Amino acid sequence: MQSSEMDACIEAYVSGRVQGVFFRQFTKDTATSLELKGYVKNLADGRVKVVARGDPESIEKLLNRLHEGPAMASVEGVNYRWVTECEEFRDFDIRR
């Protein structure tokens, strides 16, 4: 997917039991299958941060999946915002 003016970008914070339950890998696999670019990372406060860029419809699908999470996760909330300034990404990474 080439970056274009149609790209959208979100910054999301997922709370609940989302660390140590393969949430980052789940997010990467989902985002990659939707051809999104960006990253996912654990935060010190126990949440997971997700930045995703790409087709708005694909981003909506990712947000729906973030509410579900992998089998061992227990998602309490997904807070997100659409952002206008978003860095360019080559792919979707897990950041440490």
Catalytic positions, written as ranges: 24, 42
How many residues in the chain? Answer: 96
Do 48 and 41 form a contact (C-beta atoms < 8 A)? yes
Please count the other Cβ atoms lying within 10 Å of the Cβ belonging to residue 67: 11
Is residue 4 classed exposed, middle or buried when 0-12, 13-18 and 19+ CB atoms within 10 A define those classes? Answer: exposed
